[in-house]
Amino acid sequence: MDKIVFQGMRFYAYHGVFAEENTLGQPYLVDVEAYLDLRKAGQSDCLEDTIDYSLIYRLVQEIMEKKVYRLVEAVAEDIASQLLRTFPQVEEVKVKVTKPTPPIPGQYAGVAVEIRRRRDDGGDLA
Structural domain contains residue 124: no
Looking at residue 123, what is its pLDDT? 45
pLDDT averaged over the chain? 94
Active site residue 66: no
- Report which residue type is found at 96: K
Which one of the listed residues 3, 67, 94, 99 is annotated catalytic?
Answer: 99
pTM exceeds 0.95, yes or no: no
3-state secondary structure of 41: helix
Structural domain contains residue 125: no
Structural domain contains residue 104: yes
- Report which residue type is found at 15: H
Structural domain contains residue 111: yes
Higher pLDDT, 108 or 2: 2
Q: Say how many domains are in the chain.
A: 1
Q: How far apart are CA 98 and CA 19, in angstroms?
A: 19
3-state secondary structure of 56: helix
